[in-house]
Each structure stands twice: as structure tokens, then as C-alpha cells.
Amino acid sequence: MKHVSLLLLCCLLLSPALMAVPKVAQFTLSGDLVDWNYVPALFGQKRPPCLIELLDGLEKAGKAEDVTGVLVVLDYPSAGFSQWEELGLAISDLRAKGKHTYVYSAGYSTGHYFFAGHFDTILCHRSGLMTTGINLESMYFKDMLKKIGAQAQVVAIKEYKSAGDMLTRSQMSQYQKEQLNALLDTYEAVMAAALEKNRNMDRKAYDAFMDKGFISAAKAKELGYLDALVCEFELKKEIRKLELDGQAGKVIFTKAYDPGEKKEKLEFATLLKSMMGAKTDDIGYVPSPAIAVISLSGMIAPGSEKAQHISGKKAISLLDQVADKKAVKAVVLRVDSPGGSAMESDEIYQKIEQVRKKKPLVVSMGNVAASGGYFISCNADKILADDTTITGSIGVVTAKVSLKGTAGKLGISIDSLRRGRHAGAFSLYKLWNAEELKLMEDFAQECYQDFISKVAAGRNMTTEQVNEIGRGRVWSGQTAQTIGLVDETGGLRAAIAQARELAGISQKPSVVYLPKKLNMLEFLLQEMGNQAFAPAGLSQLAARYKQEIACLLTIFTGEYRAMLMPMHVTIR
């Protein structure tokens, strides 16, 4: 009888009804992916997920013992190469923890497939399409300016500093082609290595894959690029079959770890504070020990503390919040910027110098931290970048456009009275004369010397060494590490670990992210009194070429000393 009871107990314990049910954590990526999204979703909608929250959600799913698998659905997201790189590493970590990983999309672009290659199983819609190859484009306005009677002058320090080329050239210079080709080589090397490791695709097979151009999902599966084809309504059924190895049973799907599923909450106390005009964006209480991660994303340009781009006032306000906070033991700056105003960049640089005297400061570079973006990073205690980060561009560019010919075509004549030999130097209706051009060249050279001196001090180099790798040239994060512009290659998680080590934090620290998330009322009140650097409702064309438009805005709004990256790169 005793043996029978024991047998019945074993049968009950092994019964499918009592065994642990597989659980799959589901994530959805859509829209333009940003590093940190503190702007709220309006009227009860969901806040779009950002890279930092996605990394947190994936990490939590990896630590959850009841989660057996992770499914990521790609709903036509757009992201930079380094963002795909960091997300891919997070998926590799999940696989190392024994989690089954699945990715699904209606179709795959090159960037999507680079990310998807890190998963155990790649699924696609039955009627999907794969596109392969990497295309970099630059826009040029020389011929347009000529047609409207306008003329441009550009002073660039030095030969690789090609941000002004859009005004004076009709195609890429040899220096632009050289540095862009070097970036493409890094992208290909990183992607080929990932696909070889995760998909057993050697370099010959990779080259053949990149030359496909576009192929149907059915053909892609036949060639081994995809693992399964399903319609979206069949997806969970297919995942259930894979999780249970073809056996009958139940699988739980949960969106609890997906930051995009969280709805905005407006606390009554915060609502009252906002209505009374009180500050609600302070860092507030932070459990000690803490590491503060400050996201600095976008163009660097003049603006208020509430600006959506990077302004000196905004960055200084954020750094001040953490500098004197005793609970915050270290700071990580997440920089994703092509640069902009030299003056605003210097404001941020000087404030970083002050903060470093109080606590360790580490820079984590995102998609791009070049020109002014590198200027505000160069004096950090440690600099980390992804292999595919675009950085460097240590140089200065200044430009001027004369609309005198344009005015003449419209029958408009210009007359002026001046006091001072060069009083009209910045008029929109004249070019610099030879003397003024020389003055501007000297000024730009002085700015460049200041730039390389700061880099030399921050990176423990001589100015001669910095000049050799400067000259306006952009580098991939991978190459930047070999020439000393960054310390290590690694993502945000590695930067936080580095900050913890520098601060000597033994216990697990809390991590606080800034700017602090805004609720809907705070955002609306802020925007009512905020003059944005660029219109929020840009058309699709304007959004695509925002780097070029920002450069033109910089020229026409009077910032004659700029630190701008010479291109805008998007991997689609």
C-alpha cells in the first residue's frame, strides 16, 4: 500500500496539470527607437518604448525563473546600427541563460536582420520580403543655391570636416568617401561576425546574402535565412509548438516585461504641483548607493532647461541635480549627438569638469557621439562606445550664405550704411572679402586648437597625436578604441558596470535615469512656454534629412562656429 501511494504521488507530481507551464515574455518594437524617452504619450496612450527600458525589460525577463522564452515582434521599427548592436547583445545574454528566443517580422531590412540574427528562431510573414545591403547617402545644395542666385563660403578645419560640403559641392569629396567607406567596412565586419556566430554564415555566404538585394520570405527560408513562415495570427500557435517541442500543452504569453505596454499614470500630488507651477522634474529621493544615467540626445544648440534637444542649460541643470546628491555615487552620460553649437558644447564640457571633481563620470556613446558630441565626452573618466558607434569628427566648420543674387532675381536691391570696417561681415547679402575670410580662418583654427587641446588633456595624449587622428575625421567605435579616442567597446550596461567599479560600490546600486519622465500635464505646460529648436511636425522628407536641415538652421540663425558631424547615417 505504501508503494502504491508513493507511485500515485509521483504520477501527480509529473502530471502536466501540476508541472510548470512555459511562459514567453513578449516585446514589440515599433517607430523610431530613441535611447531614453521622457516625453509622455498623450490621452491615455502607451509611451513608445526606448532602448534603455527595453534593455531593462529584457534583463528582468532573463532573471525571471518562470520565463522560459522571449518573443520580440518587429512592427517596422527604425533604429541606429549601435542600438541594434546593444539589443542583439541583450538577446545573446538571454540565450546564455537558457531562454528560448524568437523574433517575428512582416519583413526584414538589413538592420532588422542584423538584430534578428542573434535569436534562436527567426520567423517571418508568409508574404514577407527581405531587403539586403547598406546604403549611405549625402545631400548637396550647391546647384540649388546657384539656381536661386545664392553663394556659399565654408571654412572647414580640416580636410575630413565635410559638414559644409553640402553647400559648396555636388558630390562627396575623396576624404568623405574614405571615411564613409571605413565606416561601411566596420558595419560589415561586425554584422558578418554576428551572423557567422549565430547563423553559421561564413564570409562568402554573407557576401552572397548582401548581394541578394530583395528576396521573398519563401526564398529566404529556402536559403536558410529564415526558420519559419507564419501569418501574424498563427504566431502564438507556432511559438507554442516550438516551446513544447511539438507536444500538446499550454504556454503563457505575457507582456509584463514590455515597457511599451505600460500606460501613463498621473498622480494627484504631481498634478497639483504642476498646476501650481512647482518644479516636478527634480531627481527626488534616490536609494543609496545610486548611479545616475543622464541621456543627452540630439543636436547641441542654444535653448532652455526644458529644450527637447541638448542645450547647455538643460545639460547643466541635469548635471547639477546629481552632482550634490549624496546618494548618487557615480554618473553615466549616455551621449547620442552629432554635435552643433561650439559655445553650448563648451558650457557642457566645463560643467563636466566640475562634476568629475566630486564623483566618477563615465560616457556611454550611442549611435553617434561625434564633433560636439565627442567634445562633451572627451574629459570623462572613462569612455565606452559600441563597435558601430560613429565618433570622432574632431574639427570645426563655419559657413556663410549670401542671398544677394537671390534678392536681385526677385527685383530686390540692398543698400546699407556701416560703421566699422567689417560691420557687414555677417550680412545675408554679401560674401566675406579676402580679409574677412582670413579672419574667419584664423578664428576657426583657434577653435580647433582649443578642441584638440581639450581632447589631449582628457585622453592623455599630445596635441600632435590628437591632430593626427582629428582633422575632422569620423571613426567607428571599434576603430576609435584602437586609436585611443575611447577606452573600451561596450554598451550602456557595460558603462554602468564601469561607473560602479570606479565608485567602489560593492552592493548592487539603484539606477536612476534622467531627464525625469514627464506626465501629460507637465509636458503640455512645458511646451506652452518652450520654443523648440526645430518644428515638431516635420514632414517625412525633413525628418529623414534632419541633420542637413539642422546644419542650415545653424548657419542661418547666427551660430558661425559649429562642431557638426559631416553626415547623418540611418540603417534601414
Q: Is the pLDDT of residue 179 over 60?
A: yes
What number of residues does the chain have?
572
The residues, ordered by sequence, that sit 6+ positions from 367 with a Cβ below 8 Å of its Cβ are 80, 81, 82, 83, 336, 389, 390, 569
Q: Is the pLDDT of residue 545 over 60?
A: no
Q: Is the pLDDT of residue 116 over 90?
A: yes
67-71, 225-229, 259-263, 460-464: the lowest-pLDDT one = 259-263
Task: Kindly indicate the confidence band of residue 341, based on its pLDDT and cuts at 50, 70 and 90.
Answer: very high
Q: Is the pLDDT of residue 265 over 80?
A: no
Q: What are the two backbone dihedrals, phi and then psi, of residue 259, each rounded to the nearest 5 degrees?
A: -65, -25
Which amino acid is residue 43, in one-letter code? F
- DSSP 3-state of 460: coil
Q: Is the pLDDT of residue 115 over 60?
A: yes
Instruction: Give the Å distances, CA to CA, from 259 to 29, 111, 212, 232, 491.
Output: 10, 22, 35, 21, 19
Mean pLDDT within 35-46: 73
Check the CA dihedral 240-243-246-251 and report its sign.
negative
Task: Kindly indicate the confidence band of residue 82, based on its pLDDT and cuts at 50, 70 and 90.
Answer: very high
Q: Which of 414, 339, 332, 345 is nearest to 369 (CA)?
A: 339
Residue whose C-alpha cell reads 543698400 in the numeric block: 415
Domains in the chain, CATH or no CATH each: 20-132+212-261 (3.90.226.10)
Q: Is the pLDDT of residue 522 over 70?
A: no
Using an 8 Å Cβ cutoff, are 426 and 412 in contact? no
The residues, ordered by sequence, that sit 6+ positions from 231 with a Cβ below 8 Å of its Cβ are 125, 126
Q: How many other β-carbons are positioned within 10 Å of the β-carbon of residue 143? A: 9
Given this model, what pLDDT does residue 521 score? Answer: 62
Q: Which of 372, 374, 354, 351 is nearest to 363 (CA)?
A: 374
Q: What are the two backbone dihedrals, phi and then psi, of residue 50, each rounded to the nearest 5 degrees?
A: -120, 170
Task: Kindly indicate the confidence band of residue 451, based on its pLDDT and cuts at 50, 70 and 90.
Answer: very high
Query: How does the average pLDDT of the chain come out, rounded?
Result: 88
Q: Residue 371: left (phi > 0), alpha (psi -120 to 50), or beta?
A: left
More confident residue, 401 or 272: 401
Using an 8 Å Cβ cutoff, are 366 and 336 in contact? yes
